[in-house]
Amino acid sequence: MTELALRGCAILVVEDEYLLAEELSAALIAESGEVVGPAATLQQGTAMLRDTSRLNGAILDVNLRGEQVFQLADMLVERGVPFMFTTGYDASIIPDRFAHVARYEKPLCVSQIVKRMAQLSHESQV
């Protein structure tokens, strides 16, 4: 990737594992992205989404301290914001309405996630 891969892109990070949230955020910033968050709970993620007028993408951990993130995913769909899921679970946990959404299983390959987020965020701007 180039240094400009995420230039001008605001990415919401919703992840309850502190070290992983920091790693994702650092990787997005290294590609010139602007990180919104990270949020560690569904409530925090929802508040950040509501308080942010411009988002180009989101990375959502499926299980946030026992709460599933699908309500927030529905809000992103309503706003037309592309997103992806990260999870320690298999695909069966994802509702059918999100079958088309990219899903990355933990342990994560952060560079792969950042590359895909760059693609998604630029596709949404076209």
Per-residue model confidence (pLDDT) at position 52: 96
Q: How much is the pTM?
A: 0.95
Q: Is 119 exposed, middle or buried (0-12, 13-18, 19+ CB in 10 A)?
A: middle
**CA separation for the pair 34, 80 (Å, rounded):** 18
pLDDT of residue 123: 79
> Tell me, what's the pLDDT at 67?
96
Q: Could you say which residues of the chain have pLDDT below 50? A: none
Give yes or no for a contact between 103 and 94, defined as CB atoms under 8 angstroms apart. yes
Domains with residue ranges and CATH for the chain: 10-125 (3.40.50.2300)
Is 95 within 8 Å of 70 (Cβ atoms)? Answer: yes
Identify the pLDDT of residue 60.
Answer: 98
Q: Tell me the per-residue pLDDT of 84-93, one tens digit each, with 9 for 90 and over.
A: 999 999 899 9
| Distance from C-alpha of 76 to C-alpha of 66, rounded to nearest angstrom | 20
Listed in sequence order, the DSSP H helices in 3-108 are 18-30, 42-51, 70-79
Residue 4's pLDDT is: 66
Cis peptide bond prior to 107, omega within 30° of 0 = yes
What's the confidence (pLDDT) of residue 2? 54
The tens digit of pLDDT for each residue in 22-41 reads 999 999 999 999 999 999 99
CB 21 within 8 Å of CB 29: no
